[in-house]
Structure 1
Amino acid sequence: MDCKLLRCLFVISTANLSLLFAQDQFPSWEEKHSDEPFIYLVMERTVELNSDWSTRETIHMVAKIQKESAQSLGEIPIEYDEEFQKVKEIKAFIITPEGKKLRYKSLQSLTPYAGEPLYSSNRIKVITMPNVVPGSIIDWEATIITQKPIIKDAFWDLFEFSIDAPVKTLRYKLIIPRDTPIQIKSHNIDVIPQIKEEGDKIIYVWQRDFVDKFEPEEFMPPWDEFIGYVEISTIRSWEDIANWYWGLVNKNLKISPAMKEKVKELVKNKNKLRDKIQAVINYIRDNFRYVSMSFGYNNYEPHPSDEVFDNKYGDCKDQVLLCMAMLKEAGITAYPALFCSENKGNPREKLPAPSHFDHVILGIESNGKMYYTDILEKGYRFDEISLNLEGGYVYVVNDKGGFFYQIPILDELTYMTYRNSTIHIKKDGSAVIEVTSLWPKDLSIYMRENWKNMTEKQRQEVLESLDETYTSGGKMLERKWENMDSSYKQIKSYIKYERPGWAEVAGDFITFSPCGGAYERRNIFVKEERKYPIMSASNSLSKETWIYYVPEGFEIVHCPEGIHLKNKLAEFSRTYKVEDSKIIAVEIMRYKRVRLPAEYYKEMKNFYNKLAILTRQKVILKRKGVP
C-alpha cells in the first residue's frame, strides 16, 4: 500500500479516536443539565411592529420534562386583554418518551376577575397538555395580536437572556418598519444582533446557544446588575412618559358628590395637615379591597376614581388615583409614583419605558417636602418608610415632566427590636420567667391585622397555643400586650410564666444553655464557592438581655466567656456579667448595608460556622458545700 495513503489513514483514525475520546470526556449539553427538573430546547419570541404601531408577537417554546416536579409546565397560560388583543394560531403538542406526538388536550378561555366589572376585559387562555411525564417534550406556539399601542405612536420591549432554567437555543427576533426611529440598549450581555433588510422592514435577531440557568445567591446585590437583557424603545424621553401618564391621571381623576361628603367627614375637626392626609389614607386602607393586577403591558391606565370609590375595590394604581382625588378635595397635592424595587435596577439608567415599573405608590407634597407611601401597606404612617419600599426607585409623574427619586435606606435604629428576660431558677430545674419584647415592625403589623379579623374563639386558640409553646406544660401567670389597638406602633408584650424542666438537674448540679441556646447553622453561605458579590440590602439591629437568678443554696461554678464576632457585614456579641447570685447576659446582632466582593465569601461562611460552634455554651450551678 502507498506510504502516503497509510499516513493519511493513520491521521484520520487518530483524529476519530481523539474525537471519540473528547466526546467521552465532555458530556453533551443535555447530559450536563440532565439533573434539572426541565430544560428548554428552544425559547424564542418574534415581535413585528407594523407601520400603524400594532404588533404581532409570536412565542415558541420547546421544553423537555426531566422530573415530576416540572409537570406543572403542562398548564400553559397566555394572558391578554380582549379589548385590544387577540390570541391566534395556537399550536401545541407533546412528544411522549415513546416518540408519539399528541395534540393538546384542551384550550380554555378564562376570566380571572369574574364578578369584578372593572377588570372584565382581562382574559387568560390556558393550554392543557396530556401525558406530561419525565422524558416528554412540550412544544407550543401562539401569536398575540395587539391592535393598538398603549401610548400613541410608541413601542417598547425587553427580552431577557438570563433564564431560571437551562436553554439550548434562546432567540429574540424584532421586525420593524425601516423608517422607525428606535433605541436599542444591551445590559450585561455581549450578544451582537444580526441585522438585515427585507423590503421596507429591518430585521434584528439576537441569539444565544447553550445558556446555563441563572441561579441567584443569598445576600446578593440587585439582580439587574447580572441579568443579561436587551431593551427596545421608540419613546424619546422620560418626559414623554410623564406627559402620557399625567394625561391618564387627568382623564380619570373624578370627584363625585359622595366623595366630597366623605372627605368632609374625614377631615372634620382635624387642624393639622398630616392628620388630614392620614385620615384619607386610612379610610382607603380600611374600606377598599385590593385586586391584584400586575402593572404590566395591559394594565397601565387607572380606572375613574369615582367608579373605584363606588365599587370599593381596585389595584394599586386605582387606589392611588382615588387617594389623589380625595386629597385634592382636602386641598392636598399628591402624585402617582411609579415604583420598582432596588433589585430591578435604576430605571434612570434605562431606555424610557413604563414596563420598568411593577407598582404604583403615592407621592404626597406637604410643607415643602415629598413623602412616599404605599396605599396598600397598612401599619405605616404616610411619613414613614416601609421595609418594602426602602432603597426602591420611583418616577414621580406630574405636570412638569416628572422626576426620579430613590427612597432612602433606613438606619439600624428605625425598626430596632429588643427582648428583656428575667429567669428565676428553682432547685428542681423549673423556672419562673418574665419576658418583655418589642416586636419587629412587620410582625407587629401582621399580628395586628390578623388579630383584628379573628373571632373570639380563634383568639383564644392562638393564646392557648402560645401558652403551651412557652410553658411546656407549665402555667401562664400573666400576659399583657401594648399597642395592639395602635395603627402604627410596634407591639410590646409582657409575659410571666412557670416552666417545668427548664434547666437540667444532675445530682447537686444544675446546667442550662444561656441566651436561648446555640445558634443552629443557617442555610446560608453553605456552598463551597461564591459567584456573585455579597450585599446586605438593609441595616438591622436586635438586642436581647437575660438576667438569671441562681436558686438559694447554689453557686455559679462556670459561666461562659463572652463572644465577639465581627466582619464588614455582620456583628454578633454575647457578654456575661456575674453579680452575686445572678448572671446578666446581653446579646447583640447587627447587619450593615454594605457591598463586598465574592472573595469575602469565606469570611462570611466562617462567621456563621463560628456562630454555631461558640454559642454551644453551658452555665453550671453547684449546690453550696458540695466538693
Structure 2
Amino acid sequence: MNLQPIRALAAAVLAVAATTYPAAQAVPAPQKSAPATDPYRDEPLVFERLDTDTRMKADGTGEIISHLVVRVQSEGTARSLSVLSLSFASATQTAAYDFVRVHKKDGTTVETPVADTMEMSSDVSRQAPVYSDLKEKHLPVRALSVGDTLDYQARVVLTKAEAPGQFWGGTHFVAAGAVVLQQAVSLSVPVDTYVQVYSPKHPATPVTRDGLKVWTWTSSQLKPSQRDENGKMTPADIKDPDTDAEGRSLPSVAWTTFRSWDDVGKWYRGLIDPRAQPTPEVRAKAEELTKEAKSPEAQVQALYRFVATGIRYVGIGFGVGRIQPHAAADVLANGYGDCKDKDTLFEALLRAKGFTTAPALIGAGIAPVVDLPSPTNFNHEITTVDLPGTGRIWLDTTAEVAPFRLLSPSIRDQEALVLPANGPATLMKTPADPPFPYSETFESVGTLSDKGVLKTHISMIVRSDSELAVRSMMQRLSPSQWDEAMGYIAAGLNFGGKVTNADLRQDDPAGPVHLGFDYTREDFADWKNNRIFANFPTLEVVTLDKDKAPDYNINLGAPRTLVARSTLTVPAGDRMELPSAVHAERPYMTFDKKYRFADGKFLAERTLVIKQQKLNKDQWKDYLAFSKEAGFEDGEKYAVLIPAAGKAAPASNFSADTATHQELEVQILSLEKAQDWAGARRLATRLKERFSSEPYVDSMLAYVDLHDHKYDEAVAGLKAELAAHPDDDSNIVSLLAGAYVTQKKYADAIDLLKQYSSRNDLRLLGLLMSAQQASGDMEGALATIRGAIANKPDDKNLQTSAVSLLKQMHRNAEAVEAAHVALDGADDPNVINNNAYFLAEMKADLPFAEEQSQKSIDLFAKATGSGTVQEANTEAFNLSAEMVAAWDTLGYIFLIEKKAADAEPYLHAAWFQSPDIVKGDHLALAYEAQGKKAEALRIFRLALQTEFAKNAKEEFAEATAHAEKLEKAGVKAPDDSAQLLAMRTFHIPKAAGAQGGGTVRLQIDRHGVADAILVTGAEPLKAELESVKKLAMPGAVPAASQARVLRDAVVYCGKTTAECDFVLMTRSGIGAESASE
C-alpha cells in the first residue's frame, strides 16, 4: 500500500513469489543440481536473482523492469508460481512480461510465449466497479515442476505521471523469511533532475552515463530456515536492519523529487479539494443526518457514524491504482469507497455544516522517514476536524465499527501529514492514547457438580483494541450464528467446553461491547485428582526470549486494566486448599491475583494493569523478572478440593475388580486426602494385584506403608518401583531416602542420594545433607551444601543452610561471615529471621542481628496483614508460624542485650501462639531478668511439660536448671500442666440453635480476633462467630505490630449448657482442619 504506483507495481511482482513460500514466507531461484550438502535444500524456494530496475524521466513517467530467478523446491511453490499475476492501473500504466522461462533439471529450457498473457479485471474491480481501471496480467507458466528454475522478467510502464514533474519510490530488501542469493535495485534519472536519495544502511555512489545518473544497491539473505523442535521449518531468526526501534519497517532505499512536505501537501491538496466540495446532495444528506444533533460534537458524531458504517470500505491501499479520490457526491451515490474516498465524503459533509477540516496522510505500520518528503511514507488517509471548544480531533472512518475518535493501534502516536486548506502541510503526531480509558472485564459465575461438570454463565465487557475485532465480527452475524461465533471466541480464551445461549445484543453502540454466554465443561480441570482452578480466560501478555535481548522496544499494548473474576460453587461440604495470592509491581505494570473460599464458593480475582505502552528494550531482564514474579509462564495454579468427611468412600457401584488402572489410582488418592488410610490400603493392594507392571503401582502401596510406619515394606515397594520405572522427577527417590533416614539407615540413604546428585535437585541435596549430618559426617554435609551453592550462588536458603551447619560444627567465625553473605540483599523474611537467630545464638554482631530481626518482623507483618481468613492456605499458615518464630528471635536478641522489658511482649506473644520449650525458656528468662521470679518459675514448669520438650535437650536442661534454682531460692508458683490448656481455652455465649462441634479459622491481631469463619460444623454454629470476634486476647500479638496470626480453634456447644467452649488448636493449618472433622 503506497502512494507511488511504480513502487506498488514492483511490490506486486515480488508478491507473486512471496505468496509461494508457505508458513516460512520464502521465495525460489534456479539450480543446476542441488548437491547433498546444499544448505538450502529444505527451503520451499530460493531466489537466485531478485532485481528491480527503475528508470524515470523528468516529467514523472518511466518504467520498472523486474527480473526474478526462482529455484522451485516444493509442490506448494510450483502450484503458487504456475500462473503469474501482475496488477497495474490501466488509466496511467501498462504492463507486460518480457520473457518467462523454465530451466529444467536436465539442462533443457521451456519457454512460455508471452502472447499467452491474459488481461483481467482485479478482484476489487469486480466488488467495486468504480475501480475498473485496476487490471491484472495473468500468464500460465508452462511445464513448471519441483526441481526447476523459473526465470522471468516483467515490465511496468508509467504512461502518465501522478504528479507532473515529480516521482518517488523505494523498496525494502528481503531481510528474513526467504533465501535471496542476490538482490539488486537500481534507479536511473536524467542527470540534471533533482532527486533526494535515502539509503542510510546501504550507501551507494551514483555513476553518470548516457545522460543519466544511476544508483545501484545490492543485498542478499543467505541464512537458511531452521527446523524447530517439532521438525517444522521456520524462517531464519534475523534482525531486519531497516526497522526503527519499535520494529516498524523503514525503506532500505527510497527517493523523491519533492523538496518539502509542503510541496507534497500542495500537490495532494490539489487532487482532493475539488472532490471534497459540498454539492446539493451532500448538503441535504448532512442536514438529514444532523437534524437531531444538539451540539457541534454531536453533529460530527452523527456524520462520522454515517460515513463509517453507512459507506462500505473497499480495501485498496493508498497509492495502489488511482491516487485522486472520487468526488464526494459519487461516493455518496455509490455507497462505498476506499480510505481517500471516505475521507473526501466525510470532509464534504463536515464542510456542509461549517466545520474546518483537513485530510491527514499516514503510514499504518510504517515508520515515517521525516527527512524524506515522499508519499512513500503513507499508505492510508484519515480526517481531522476542528471541533469548537476542543481543537483538532482525529477520525478514521475506514474502521467502520470503531467508536468515535478511536484510532487503530497502528496509527496512534504516528507522524501524519496534515493538509490544511489555509496553511502549509505539516507533519503532526496522532494521539498516543485512546479517547477513553481501556478496560476488559470478565466474570464467570457457576457451579461445579460432584461429577466434575462445570456449568457457568460468562459475561464480558470489552473496551479496548479488542473491541474493534469483536464489533467487526458482530456486524456480519445473525443471531442464529451467535453460539458458533462465541464458541470460536471462547476457544481463543482457552475454553474448550460447550457454548450456548450467546447474547451479543448491544444496547449502546457508542459504549463498551457486552458479551454473554453459558458455558459447560465436563471433567473440569483436573477433577479426577480433586484439583480445579479459577475459570479464567487466557491472559495475553508479552513473552520474551529468556536468553536473548529483544531487537526492538517492548510493546505492551495500550494502557489498560484487565479484570477477571471467577465464582464457583463447589459440591456441598467440600473445602479447599487455595493457591497463594500473587502480587507483582513495576512502574509500567502491576499484577494481582487473589483467592478466597467462603460459604462453599471458590472465589478468585485477577487484575492486570498496564500503565505504559512501550518499554525500552534495555529493560528486558526486569520485564522477565516481573513475569516470573507474576507467574505468567506457570499458568493458572490448581486449588485442591478437600472432600467432606465420608465423601471419599468409593461409590456404591465402584468395583476394585473391574475399575481401570486410572480409576483405581484416582480413588486411592481421594481416600488418602480424606485420611481414609485403611480404604487406601485395600485399593492399593488390589491395584498391585491387577496391574503389577504399571508405573507407580508399587509406590502407591509403599506410600500407604510409610503412613502406617511399615518402613520395611515401604522400602521394598519403593525399591521395586525405582528398579522397574525411572523416576524422572525424583519423587520416589525422595520417599525412599526419607524412609532410610527414618530407619536410621543413613549409609543407605547417602548411597542412594549420591547416585542422583548429578540432577542438582535441591530436595535430594537437602536430604543428602541431612543424612550426612545425622550420620555424623559433618564435613561431607558441608561439601554437599557448598556444591549446591556453587550451582546456585544466589540461593539464600542454601546459604542459610550453610550457616546452620557451620554453627553446628562450632566454626563460628565462618558461620558469622556466611550469615552476612546470606543477609546481603535478602528479602525473604524467613531467611532473614533464621540468620538473625543464628547470630544471636553465637552472640555475634547483636546490633546488626537486632536490625535484621526487626526487618524480618516488618516484612512478616506486611505479608500477614494483607491476607484474609477466606484466602488462607498452607503457605499463609506457614507464614504465620514463621512470624511467631521471628517474634521469639527478636525477643531473644533483646534478652541477650539485657533489654528484658523490650523482649517480654515479643516473647509473650510467641509463647501464647506457639508454646514450646524454646519459647517458654526465653520468656521465663525475660521474667527472671526483670525480677518476676514467680512468673518465671511458672513458665519454666509449663515449658518443661510442652510437647516434644525433651527433644530439645539443651533448652530442656537449661529450663530444668533454672526452675530448680528458683525453687531452691524459695520461689513459689503454680505447678499445673492444665494451665497449658487453660491459656488457649475461652468461653463464649451460646447462640440460639447452636449445638455440636466445629472448626473455626481465625485471624488474631493486637486488638483480639480480627475475623473468623466456620470451616467445619453445622450451619447454626456460624452464629457463634460474632462472639468469637469479640474475644480479647491480650498480648497475643505485640502491641505495636500490624501483623495478623492465623489460628484454628475447635468450638463446642452442648445441649444444655449456656456457654460454648472455644479452644485454640495446638496445630493450625489446612491439614489440621481436615484432621479435626
Q: TM-score range by the shorter chain?
A: 0.7 to 0.9
Residue 194 to residue 31, structure 1, CA distance change in 2 (3 Å): farther
Residue 370 to residue 169, structure 1, CA distance change in 2 (3 Å): same
SS of the equivalent of 1:57 reads strand
1:158 lines up with 2:170 in the alignment: yes
* Alignment counterpart, residue 346 of structure 1, candidates 358, 368, 383: 368
Residue 479 to residue 621, structure 1, CA distance change in 2 (3 Å): farther
Deviates more, 1:487-496 or 1:322-331: 487-496
* Contact residue 293 and residue 299 of structure 1 kept, 8 A: no
Aligned to 1:63: 70
What is the RMSD computed on CA atoms of the aligned residues? 3.8
* Contact residue 413 and residue 541 of structure 1 kept, 8 A: no
* Alignment counterpart, residue 605 of structure 2, candidates 575, 578, 586: 586
SS of the equivalent of 1:585 reads strand
Note the C-alpha offset of 1:330.
Answer: 1.3
Note the C-alpha offset of 1:230.
Answer: 1.5
The 2-side partners of 1:441 and 1:470 are apart by 21
The 1-side partners of 2:196 and 2:53 are apart by 18
The 2-side partners of 1:396 and 1:581 are apart by 61
Aligned to 1:560: 579
The 2-side partners of 1:607 and 1:376 are apart by 37
Aligned to 2:198: 185
Aligned to 2:41: 34
1:64-121 Cα deviation digits (max 9, x unpaired): 1222332313433222222222224621111122322112374221111147442222
* Contact residue 567 and residue 604 of structure 2 kept, 8 A: yes
1:262 lines up with 2:285 in the alignment: yes
* Alignment counterpart, residue 316 of structure 2, candidates 293, 311, 336: 293
The 1-side partners of 2:476 and 2:58 are apart by 54
Note the C-alpha offset of 1:424.
Answer: 3.7
1:547 lines up with 2:547 in the alignment: no
The 1-side partners of 2:195 and 2:527 are apart by 78
SS of the equivalent of 1:64 reads strand
Deviates more, 1:281-290 or 1:270-279: 281-290
Deviates more, 1:172-181 or 1:603-612: 603-612
1:306-354 Cα deviation digits (max 9, x unpaired): 222222221110111011111111112222111113x411342x41111
Aligned to 2:968: none
The 2-side partners of 1:603 and 1:454 are apart by 40
1:397 lines up with 2:429 in the alignment: no
Aligned to 2:386: 365
SS of the equivalent of 1:547 reads strand
Aligned to 1:222: 246
SS of the equivalent of 1:486 reads coil
Note the C-alpha offset of 1:260.
Answer: 2.1
The 1-side partners of 2:496 and 2:363 are apart by 44
Aligned to 2:182: 169
The 2-side partners of 1:623 and 1:305 are apart by 73
Aligned to 2:534: 514
The 2-side partners of 1:467 and 1:91 are apart by 51
Aligned to 2:551: 532
Residue 230 to residue 447, structure 1, CA distance change in 2 (3 Å): closer
The 2-side partners of 1:134 and 1:566 are apart by 55
* Contact residue 48 and residue 69 of structure 2 kept, 8 A: yes
* Contact residue 412 and residue 541 of structure 1 kept, 8 A: no
SS of the equivalent of 1:439 reads strand
The 2-side partners of 1:209 and 1:495 are apart by 52
Aligned to 1:124: 136
SS of the equivalent of 1:231 reads strand
* Contact residue 170 and residue 211 of structure 1 kept, 8 A: no
Aligned to 2:90: 82
* Contact residue 59 and residue 161 of structure 2 kept, 8 A: no
* Contact residue 43 and residue 171 of structure 1 kept, 8 A: yes
Aligned to 1:15: none
Residue 616 to residue 333, structure 1, CA distance change in 2 (3 Å): same
Deviates more, 1:141-150 or 1:210-219: 210-219
Structure having the larger proportion of residues in helix: 2
| Matched letter for residue 56 of structure 1 | E
SS of the equivalent of 1:118 reads helix
| Matched letter for residue 208 of structure 1 | S
SS of the equivalent of 2:372 reads coil
Residue 99 to residue 70, structure 1, CA distance change in 2 (3 Å): same
The 2-side partners of 1:536 and 1:463 are apart by 28
SS of the equivalent of 1:416 reads strand
Aligned to 1:437: 460
Residue 521 to residue 566, structure 1, CA distance change in 2 (3 Å): same
1:110 lines up with 2:102 in the alignment: no
* Contact residue 95 and residue 157 of structure 2 kept, 8 A: yes
Residue 311 to residue 480, structure 1, CA distance change in 2 (3 Å): closer
| Matched letter for residue 317 of structure 1 | K
Q: Which TM-score applies when normalising by structure 2?
A: 0.50
Note the C-alpha offset of 1:235.
Answer: 0.8
The 1-side partners of 2:436 and 2:350 are apart by 32
Identical-residue share of aligned pairs (%): 18
1:515-568 Cα deviation digits (max 9, x unpaired): 449x69999546964561341152343111223444432333x21122345678
Note the C-alpha offset of 1:55.
Answer: 1.0
The 1-side partners of 2:566 and 2:127 are apart by 55
1:133 lines up with 2:157 in the alignment: no
The 2-side partners of 1:39 and 1:606 are apart by 42
Deviates more, 1:287-296 or 1:211-220: 211-220
Aligned to 2:689: none
Aligned to 2:512: 490
Residue 300 to residue 537, structure 1, CA distance change in 2 (3 Å): farther
SS of the equivalent of 1:109 reads strand
The 1-side partners of 2:120 and 2:546 are apart by 43
Aligned to 2:106: 98
* Alignment counterpart, residue 206 of structure 1, candidates 195, 214, 217: 217
SS of the equivalent of 1:421 reads strand
The 2-side partners of 1:31 and 1:568 are apart by 50
The 1-side partners of 2:357 and 2:524 are apart by 56
Q: Which TM-score applies when normalising by structure 1?
A: 0.82
Deviates more, 1:282-291 or 1:329-338: 282-291
The 2-side partners of 1:282 and 1:521 are apart by 31
* Alignment counterpart, residue 257 of structure 2, candidates 231, 234, 245: 234
| Matched letter for residue 83 of structure 1 | A
Aligned to 1:11: none
Deviates more, 1:150-159 or 1:247-256: 247-256
Note the C-alpha offset of 1:269.
Answer: 3.1
* Alignment counterpart, residue 298 of structure 2, candidates 257, 275, 278: 275
The 1-side partners of 2:357 and 2:436 are apart by 29
Which structure has the larger Rg over C-alpha atoms? 2
The 1-side partners of 2:441 and 2:107 are apart by 63
The 2-side partners of 1:521 and 1:355 are apart by 34
Note the C-alpha offset of 1:413.
Answer: 7.7
Aligned to 2:884: none
Aligned to 1:24: none
| Matched letter for residue 344 of structure 1 | I
SS of the equivalent of 2:406 reads coil
Deviates more, 1:547-556 or 1:458-467: 458-467
* Contact residue 562 and residue 573 of structure 1 kept, 8 A: yes
Aligned to 1:377: 399
Structure having the larger proportion of residues in strand: 1
The 2-side partners of 1:103 and 1:514 are apart by 65
Residue 32 to residue 236, structure 1, CA distance change in 2 (3 Å): same
Point out which structure has higher relative CO (alpha carbons under 8 A, 6+ apart): 1
Deviates more, 1:242-251 or 1:494-503: 494-503
